[in-house]
Amino acid sequence: MSGPITAPVDVMLGQAPALDMARSKVKQSAQNFESSFLSVMLAQMFKGVETEAPFGGGQGEEMFKSFFTDAVAKQVSRSGGVGLAASVEREMLKMQGLEDTGVPNGA
pLDDT tens per residue, range 47-96: 877 777 777 777 778 788 889 899 999 999 989 889 999 999 999 999 98
State residue 87's pLDDT score: 92
Per DSSP, the chain holds a count of helices (H) and strands (E) of 4, 0
What is the per-residue pLDDT across 23-47, written as a single tens digit (0 to 9) for each?
A: 899 999 999 999 999 999 999 988 8
Cβ distance 40 to 77 under 8 Å? Answer: no
Q: Across 6-10, 35-39, 97-101, which has the greatest mean pLDDT?
A: 35-39
pTM across the whole model:
0.68
